[in-house]
Amino acid sequence: MVVNLRQANQWPAALLLAILFLAIFILSGCQSETPKVHSYQGATMGTTFTVKWVSASPDKELNQMIDSALVGVNQSMSTYIPDSELSVLNRLGDNEVMQISEPLAYVLGLSQTISTQTQGAFDITVGPVVNLWGFGPSGRVVKAPSDELIASVQKRVGYQSIHLKGAEVSKSNNSYIDLSAVAKGYGVDVIAQLLEEHGISSYLVEIGGELRARGLKPDGKEWRIAIEAPGTAVERTIQRIIAVKDVGIATSGDYRNYFEENGVRFSHTIDPLTGRPINHRLASVTVLMPSCAEADALATAMMVMGPERGQSFAEKHNINALFIIKTDTGFEERMTSDFSNFLVM
Ligand code: ADP
Ligand code: MG
């Protein structure tokens, strides 16, 4: 049948107007429902953080919750806060028992597991040595400490001196705990959890270079992470870019936090077995693990192990990792067999 144009033209003007309004309403409604990347950043744990998440509208309340979650982690795990839960624990005498919070018990438990797994390359009781070398709350030094001093402080190191039973903890051997190598990663996990509790399933959380990514961006693509090329504390270039969907990522390096004496670089990563900063050719290691706390601790552990031991440890435990190693002329890369699956550059 042929459409009767005259009849169509005779539609009441009011009806046409109503349809027009409805169309505009639906379109604008759709627009405010379009998922976008929202972002919130600030300072925490002596560094910066950035949280990105995909949702239809921004949420100021979430920003405040992120802030207070980070304050909570710090107040529990920082050695820089004299009245933090950890500082109270550190002042405890040998064999005194303290009831600790669930988050602190979790991080101590995880740390002990990783110490066992890495045969002490990761060790949270390395704190006194960290402080001696000027990388703790007591401030910087410009000179390497004497062998005698290192030997005397080194005696206090050993993760077996932490005794954890549920939420009860005690220490022996005058030990002192430093969670700096795992707390940033744990903080990332806490924020990730907070976002998930708010129904957010696509996000990128970062604290001081330790990250966790989940889901896809609004353009349907995976989150992309730049891995820094080792350089100096000031100049920063990109070594690699990886695309990831549901993983924690941490990088340990000797190029950001160090001091130099007579041309020798002393890194903030300490080998708990020698009581000295690491001294090998591994410049950085990037580790992927389901949680960022694990990635953070294992990156520090592999940094201690060095290029060969680190890589065979990663292969043996099926951990995806990228190693950047100093050579006489520059740097070379090594990666575990599946790491290349994540590379986009
Ligand atoms: P990186 O990302 O370079 O590993 P982190 O911030 O994760 O750096 O951890 C380094 C910090 O951890 C040091 O500043 C020190 O406080 C502490 N630390 C150093 N060596 C060890 C170690 N072998 N095990 C556990 N913690 C360590
Ligand atoms: Mg670490």
Distance CA 128, CA 122 (A): 14
Distance CA 272, CA 121 (A): 6
Residue 19 pLDDT: 60
Kindly give the distance from the C-alpha atom of residue 184 to the centroid of ligand 2, in angstroms, as a whole number. Answer: 8
Which of the listed residues 178, 188, 305 should we mutate to test ligand 1's pocket, taking the one with most ligand atoms within 8 A of CB?
Answer: 178
In whole angstroms, how far apart are CA 226 and each of 51, 211, 250, 253, 333?
16, 11, 12, 15, 15
Residue 25 pLDDT: 52
Question: Is there a contact between 307 and 325 (Cβ–Cβ < 8 Å)?
Answer: yes
How does pLDDT run along the chain (345 residues), one tens digit per residue? 444 444 444 556 665 566 655 555 555 544 457 999 999 999 999 999 999 999 998 889 999 999 999 999 999 999 999 999 999 999 999 999 999 999 999 999 999 999 999 999 999 999 999 999 999 999 999 999 999 999 999 999 999 999 999 999 999 999 999 999 999 999 999 999 999 999 999 999 999 999 999 999 999 999 999 999 998 667 789 999 999 999 999 999 987 778 888 888 889 999 999 999 999 999 999 999 999 999 999 999 999 999 999 999 999 999 999 999 999 999 999 999 999 999 999
From 67, 46, 34, select the one nearest 219 (Cα to Cα). Answer: 34
Which ligand 1 atom is nearest residue 303's CA? 4
DSSP type of residue 280: S
Which residues keep their CB under 5 angstroms from ion ligand 2?
Answer: 181, 296, 299-300
DSSP type of residue 103: H
Question: CB under 6 Å to ligand 1: residues?
Answer: 122-124, 126, 130, 135, 178, 180-181, 252-253, 268-270, 272, 296, 299-300, 303-304
Kindly give the distance from the C-alpha atom of residue 127 to the centroid of ligand 1, in angstroms, as a whole number. Answer: 9
Which ligand 1 atom is nearest residue 253's CA? 3
Distance CA 343, CA 199 (A): 29
pTM of the model as a whole: 0.90
- Condensed to tens digits (0 to 9), the pLDDT of residues 250-277 reads 999 987 778 888 888 889 999 999 999 9
Distance CA 12, CA 3 (A): 17
Kindly give the distance from the C-alpha atom of residue 283 to the centroid of ligand 1, in angstroms, as a whole number. Answer: 14
Which ligand 1 atom is nearest residue 272's CA? 23
Type of residue at 256: R
Distance CA 225, CA 203 (A): 13
Describe the crossing of helices 102-117 and 60-77 by its angle, rounded to 10 degrees.
Answer: 60
Which of the listed residues 113, 206, 300, 313 should we mutate to test ligand 1's pocket, taking the one with most ligand atoms within 8 A of CB?
Answer: 300
Question: Is there a contact between 292 and 249 (Cβ–Cβ < 8 Å)?
Answer: yes
Distance CA 211, CA 250 (A): 6
Describe the crossing of helices 292-316 and 183-197 by its angle, rounded to 10 degrees.
Answer: 120
Residue 256 pLDDT: 79
From 210, 195, 200, select the one nearest 294 (Cα to Cα). Answer: 210
From 265, 268, 236, select the one nearest 252 (Cα to Cα). Answer: 268
Type of residue at 201: S
